[in-house]
């Protein structure tokens, strides 16, 4: 009887998952033609000097120092509540006779020239000495700064985990909030389906997915199971600028032309591992001290012999970071192919999370962003140019970003 009950519960869960996905996909079929199932992939350039792929940050590498058991990423893995999780929207389009473009904004912190400008943390670290910013609240989880390898100070400090509030955007844009709810619903259903498949394949001894990748999905699913994840997704949609209204009251990208399932099916989870300042500046550091650290870091690394591309354990840096320790994150990247969309205005604004001041976003070619080079994957280091360069390369290589499709 107990075994039958387990089977029935499993069947019920699958039915709920199937209904959610079929509902989303049915809406997609009615509202917008689906893209071809087989996406065009690009080959890498010959022997790229700077390459990255989604890496297990807890695995030792031959010829490198072993990762200690108290490494902060290993602590994140043992307690998924420690992982910062952030949602991003990547918007791109193909052009006649020109390289594909991504919608980006100029970076404001000096770590790179361009950034996506659409990241909204669902949960992240903030210095314990500071009050949570608008729209966030403490979760009750703390982490000592001494856990980070760049900590070399006599001044102790710690970080508190802060979560976006479920009511962060209440009343602002009900239509966009409902769109975010559909995305959350689809992501939860998709990840539940993938977890069941992982368990079945593991039991059969035939799984293709690594335990590392499965653990990242579980950590993100844990965040999505909380109601406040709707606000994080809505925040990312909002920061993309696509759904803002122009002076005439029209959205730059009309919601009726989009369907949540395309965001759901494109979603990929990557563990971002940044090049951090060493030593790690304390929370009391001034803006001038932080600016000076960023401007002098490359020279100091060259003088000390520090590898600018990987740590002593061989873990490749995905981007250059400020002292924000939350930049070691699980990024949930959702893409939107805007090739067929008719924008009300080609000049899409960008916003900070809760601000109203517009910052112009720009369409920049994937060649200029060091993602592509001469029709293949670029061999250049994208970190100084585009903070998400490695991620976008991976999405292009995997066919999630379709740079060779129809116009």
> What confidence score (pLDDT) does residue 28 get?
45
C-alpha 144 chain-centroid distance: 24
DSSP string, 251-267: BSS-GGG--HHHHHHH-
Digits of tens for pLDDT over the chain (407 positions)? 544 443 344 444 444 444 555 555 554 443 443 443 333 455 555 444 578 988 999 999 999 999 999 999 999 999 999 999 999 999 999 988 889 999 999 887 789 999 999 999 999 999 999 999 999 999 999 999 999 999 999 989 999 999 999 999 998 899 999 999 999 999 999 999 999 999 999 999 998 899 999 999 999 999 999 999 999 999 999 998 888 888 888 888 889 889 999 999 999 999 999 999 999 999 999 999 999 999 999 999 999 999 999 999 999 999 999 999 999 999 999 999 999 887 756 677 777 777 666 777 889 999 999 999 998 999 999 999 999 999 999 999 999 999 987 76
C-beta of residue 327 within 8 angstroms of C-beta of residue 69: no
CA distance 145 to 151: 7
CA distance 227 to 123: 13
Tokens 């039958």 sit at which residue? 4
> What confidence score (pLDDT) does residue 355 get?
67
CA distance 137 to 121: 12
> What confidence score (pLDDT) does residue 310 get?
96
> What confidence score (pLDDT) does residue 43 get?
56
pTM score of the predicted model? 0.89
> What confidence score (pLDDT) does residue 108 get?
74
C-beta of residue 259 within 8 angstroms of C-beta of residue 21: no
CA distance 373 to 138: 44
Q: Contacts for 392-398 with beta carbons within 8 Å, 24 or more apart? A: 392/90, 392/102, 392/366, 393/52, 394/52, 394/53, 394/54, 394/268, 394/270, 395/90, 395/268, 395/333, 395/335, 396/41, 396/42, 396/366, 396/371, 396/372, 397/41, 397/42, 397/44, 398/41, 398/268
CA distances in angstroms from 10 to 23, 191, 368, listed in the order given: 20, 15, 49
Q: How many alpha carbons lie under 13 Å from residue 343 in its C-beta half-sphere?
A: 20
CA distance 86 to 119: 6
Question: Among residues 114, 99, 154, which one has the least CA distance to residue 366?
Answer: 99
Q: Following CA atoms 176, 39, 344, 171 in sequence, which dihedral angle do they give, to the nearest 10 degrees?
A: 10
CA distance 328 to 3: 42
- Is omega for the bond preceding 287 within 30 degrees of 0, making it cis? no
């Amino acid at each position: 009887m107990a075994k039958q009950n387990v089977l029935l519960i499993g069947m019920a869960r699958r039915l709920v998952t199937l209904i959610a996905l079929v509902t989303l996909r049915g809406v997609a079929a009615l509202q917008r033609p689906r893209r071809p199932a087989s996406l065009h992939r690009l080959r890498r350039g010959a022997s790229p000097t700077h390459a990255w792929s989604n890496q297990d940050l807890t695995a030792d590498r031959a010829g490198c120092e072993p990762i200690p058991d108290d490494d902060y990423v290993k602590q994140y893995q043992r307690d998924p509540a420690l992982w910062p999780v952030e949602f991003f929207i990547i918007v791109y389009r193909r052009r006649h006779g020109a390289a594909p473009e991504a919608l980006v904004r100029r970076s404001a912190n000096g770590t790179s020239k361009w950034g996506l400008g659409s990241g909204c943390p669902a949960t992240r670290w903030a210095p314990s000495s500071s009050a949570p910013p608008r729209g966030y609240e403490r979760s009750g989880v703390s982490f000592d700064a001494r856990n980070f390898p760049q900590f070399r100070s006599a001044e102790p400090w710690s970080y508190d985990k802060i979560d976006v509030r479920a009511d962060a955007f209440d009343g602002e844009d009900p239509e966009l909030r409902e769109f975010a709810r559909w995305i959350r619903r689809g992501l939860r259903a998709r990840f539940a389906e993938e977890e069941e498949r992982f368990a079945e394949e593991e039991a059969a001894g035939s799984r293709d997915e690594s335990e590392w990748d499965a653990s990242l999905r579980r950590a993100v699913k844990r965040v999505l199971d909380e109601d406040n994840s709707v606000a994080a997704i809505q925040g990312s949609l909002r920061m993309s600028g696509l759904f803002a209204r122009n002076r005439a009251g029209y959205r730059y990208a009309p919601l009726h032309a989009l369907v949540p399932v395309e965001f759901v099916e494109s979603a990929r989870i990557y563990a971002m591992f940044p090049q951090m300042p060493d030593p790690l500046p304390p929370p009391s550091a001034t803006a001038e001290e932080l600016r000076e650290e960023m401007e002098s870091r490359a020279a100091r690394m060259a003088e000390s012999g520090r590898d600018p591309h990987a740590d002593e354990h061989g873990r490749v840096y995905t981007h250059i970071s400020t002292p924000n320790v939350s930049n070691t994150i699980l990024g949930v990247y959702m893409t939107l192919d805007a090739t067929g969309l008719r924008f009300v205005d080609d000049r899409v604004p960008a916003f900070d999370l809760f601000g109203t001041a517009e910052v112009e976003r720009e369409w920049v070619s994937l060649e200029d962003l060091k993602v592509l080079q001469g029709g293949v994957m670029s061999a250049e280091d994208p970190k100084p140019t585009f903070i998400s360069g490695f991620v976008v390369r991976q999405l292009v290589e995997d066919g999630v970003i379709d740079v060779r499709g129809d116009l």
